[in-house]
Amino acid sequence: MPQYEYFCQKCQREVTVPMTISQHDKGGVVCPQCGGRELRPLVGSFFAQTSRKS
Ligand SMILES: [Zn+2]
């Protein structure tokens, strides 16, 4: 499962969120620490753990 890094505005820290691509496309990402939705994507810190070719 791919992991995405975000900066949580509530926690004031970076969090790593594992989720499926379909979940990411829907934008239903929540902070694993506080459950908040105020997450800002960290550009350039995407871990591609999928075999899907682009
Ligand atoms: Zn949080």
pLDDT of residue 27: 78
Task: Quote the ligand 1 centre to 50 CA distance (angstroms).
Answer: 26
pLDDT of residue 15: 94
Task: Quote the ligand 1 centre to 46 CA distance (angstroms).
Answer: 19
**pTM for the whole thing?**
0.67
Identify the CA nearest to 39 among candidates 1, 4, 9, 18. 9
Sequence spans of domains, the chain: 3-41
- Burial, 7: exposed, middle or buried (Cβ in 10 Å; 0-12, 13-18, 19+)? middle
19-49 burial by CB neighbour count: b if 16+ within 10 A, else e?
Answer: beeeeeeeeebbbeeeeeeebeeeeeeeeee
9 pLDDT above the threshold of 80: yes
Quote the tokens at residue 16.
């790593």
pLDDT of residue 53: 56
pLDDT digits (tens, 9 = 90+) for 15-49: 999 888 888 888 788 999 999 999 998 865 455 55
pLDDT of residue 45: 47
Task: Quote the ligand 1 centre to 15 CA distance (angstroms).
Answer: 8
